[in-house]
């Protein structure tokens, strides 16, 4: 399903002020200097992965495309900028007619990336490209961090499904984006209805402890839930005594009880005890769902437990300790003049302290070994070596201001699963380590 057709029920009408003030003041100065229309190339990349991570996951591309399309300065925004004297009248007139008319290339959403990977390339005039920096980074840094955490968790979970349950642990709109990113990373469903509405992600949920506490007895609560939702529902069994709750749950719902959920205690020990008890009560097909501040390490520790599904909240929506990917948006090439055919000149930051960048418009390809397993991320400028011609990673996303690469979310999710499966086996190890693929640079501009 093309989720772009669902509309924007949880988005703001315009993304134009999702930016930093200096983007607009740079625009004003460039307009005055006569350099604003120079053809420019910006690239999004990260200099390093979060400490100990083996790979990154590209997520948020679809939301970036929405943001670029909705980047419009309406009358109220222009009035605000005028009232605050952020920019002058000439710049306000230019902003009033802003429409991105350039090109955007990028790694397909769901792909993996490594240090230096040109995850996204934005080309057009300096003026129209520089304005997009903050909103692009805001989306990609957040969504890619969540997707990377989700990918690690889904790898640790194996074939067991994962439920995204983090809406109450983050900003209400960030929760919707986090659910989308988690789905890309391998989660199966979400508790957040806004995410289901916006992106058609399967939604799940039954009851919390408050529902049990509302009733005079736990048995009364179970009976009310089963009467309403049927025996296939999931009953929460750790409000009081787990053993008594499991017994009551099966007595109320019968051996066809769908599932029980455990939200506290020593999950490994409790899961084994509950499984044994369910089997003894004849509820052999009743599933066990565990929640309670899980992360990829806790999920991995439960691999041998009789657990059927995991619900994850806080650790997921905060990137499991790494809430950003530290992606940057840097000018890497610009024309010598505003003439349409003026040649591009590579440019790069030269500061110390690990914040250097590499100039030139880049391509990226992934080299594979004889067995088809990825072995290196190759990045360069100029001609692509013939042996890598069919391994290029960047694809067109926007041409002449028109979006050309919207995809159903399930396609993105499947892509990530396939790409991750093509990495070396060490990619899914949870122990801290270096990026699973080295980054190799070829044909770089002189001095880069």
**What residues contact 2, with CB distance under 8 A and at least 6 apart?**
406, 407, 408
Domain residue spans in the chain?
A: 3-146+322-442, 206-292
φ and ψ at residue 194, rounded to 5 degrees:
-65, -40
Spatial distance between the Cα atoms of 165 and 154, rounded to a whole number of angstroms: 14
Kindly report the pTM of this predicted structure.
Answer: 0.94
Contacts 24+ apart (CB under 8 A), 409-413: 409/1, 409/3, 409/62, 409/180, 409/183, 409/184, 409/199, 409/200, 409/201, 410/1, 412/62, 412/108, 412/109, 412/110, 412/184, 413/110, 413/183, 413/184, 413/186
In the CATH hierarchy, which fold is given to the domain comprising 206-292?
Answer: TIM Barrel (3.20.20)
Q: What is the pLDDT along the chain (448 residues), one digit of tens a residue?
A: 344 444 444 455 789 999 999 999 999 999 999 999 999 999 999 999 999 899 999 999 999 999 999 999 999 999 999 999 999 999 999 999 999 999 999 999 999 999 999 999 999 999 999 999 999 999 999 999 999 999 999 999 999 999 999 999 999 999 999 999 999 999 999 999 999 999 999 999 999 999 999 999 999 999 999 999 999 999 999 999 999 999 999 999 999 999 999 999 999 999 999 999 999 999 999 999 999 999 999 999 999 999 999 999 999 999 999 999 999 999 999 999 999 889 999 999 877 666 778 899 999 999 999 999 999 999 999 999 999 999 999 999 999 999 999 999 999 999 999 999 999 999 999 988 899 999 999 877 654 4
Spatial distance between the Cα atoms of 135 and 123, rounded to a whole number of angstroms: 16
φ and ψ at residue 59, rounded to 5 degrees:
-145, 150
Spatial distance between the Cα atoms of 108 and 224, rounded to a whole number of angstroms: 47
Buried/exposed code over 401-416 (b: 16+ C-beta within 10 A; e: otherwise): eebebebebeebbebb
Q: What is the pLDDT of residue 141?
A: 98
Of 2, 340, 18, whose CA–CA distance to 174 is shortest?
18
**What residues contact 33, with CB distance under 8 A and at least 6 apart?**
none
Of 194, 224, 197, whose CA–CA distance to 212 is shortest?
224
Question: Is the Cα dihedral 34, 35, 39, 44 positive or negative?
Answer: negative
Of 375, 317, 433, whose CA–CA distance to 52 is shortest?
433
Distance of CA 87 to the CA centre of its chain: 34
Q: What is the pLDDT of residue 443?
A: 77
How would CATH label the architecture of 3-146+322-442? Alpha-Beta Barrel (3.20)
- Name residue, tokens 């429409």: 99
Specify whether the CB–CB gap between 253 and 245 falls below 8 A.
no
């Amino acid at each position: 399903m093309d989720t772009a057709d669902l509309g924007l029920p949880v988005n703001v009408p315009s993304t134009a002020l999702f930016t930093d003030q200096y983007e607009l003041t740079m625009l004003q100065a460039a307009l005055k200097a006569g350099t604003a229309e120079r053809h420019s190339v910006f690239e999004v990349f990260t200099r390093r992965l979060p400490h100990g991570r083996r790979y990154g996951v590209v997520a948020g591309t679809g939301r970036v495309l929405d943001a670029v399309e909705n980047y419009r300065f309406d009358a109220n925004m222009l009035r605000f900028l005028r009232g605050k004297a952020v920019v002058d009248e000439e710049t306000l007139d230019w902003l009033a007619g802003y429409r991105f008319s350039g090109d955007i290339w990028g790694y397909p959403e769901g792909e993996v990336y490594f240090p230096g990977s040109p995850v996204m390339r934005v080309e057009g005039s300096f003026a129209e490209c520089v304005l997009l920096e903050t909103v692009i980074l805001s989306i990609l840094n957040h969504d890619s961090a969540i997707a990377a955490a989700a990918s690690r968790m889904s790898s640790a979970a194996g074939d067991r499904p994962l439920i995204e349950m983090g809406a109450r642990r983050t900003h209400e709109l960030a929760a919707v984006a986090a659910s989308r990113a988690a789905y890309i990373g391998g989660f199966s469903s979400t508790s957040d209805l806004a995410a289901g509405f916006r992106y058609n992600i399967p939604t799940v949920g039954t009851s919390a402890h408050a529902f049990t506490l509302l009733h005079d007895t736990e048995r009364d609560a179970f009976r009310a839930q089963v009467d309403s939702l049927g025996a296939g529902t999931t009953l929460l069994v750790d409000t009081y005594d787990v053993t008594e709750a499991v017994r009551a749950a099966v007595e109320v719902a019968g051996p066809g009880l769908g599932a029980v959920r455990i939200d506290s205690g020593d999950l490994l020990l409790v899961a084994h005890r509950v499984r044994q008890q369910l089997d003894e009560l004849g509820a052999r097909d009743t599933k066990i769902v565990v929640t309670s501040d899980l992360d990829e390490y806790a999920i991995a520790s439960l691999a041998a437990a009789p657990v059927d599904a995991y619900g994850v909240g806080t650790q997921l929506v905060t990137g499991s300790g790494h809430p950003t990917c530290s992606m940057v948006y840097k000018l890497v090439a610009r024309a010598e003049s505003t003439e349409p055919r003026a040649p591009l000149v590579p440019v790069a930051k030269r500061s110390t302290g690990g914040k250097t960048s590499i100039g030139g418009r880049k391509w990226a390809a992934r080299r594979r070994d004889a067995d088809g397993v990825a072995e290196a991320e190759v990045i360069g400028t100029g001609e692509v070596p013939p042996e890598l011609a069919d391994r290029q990673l960047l694809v067109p996303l926007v041409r002449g201001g028109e979006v050309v690469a919207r995809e159903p979310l399930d396609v993105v999710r499947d892509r990530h699963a396939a790409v991750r499966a093509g990495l070396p086996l060490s990619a899914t190890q949870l122990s801290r380590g270096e990026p699973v693929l080295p980054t190799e640079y070829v044909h770089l501009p002189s001095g880069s």
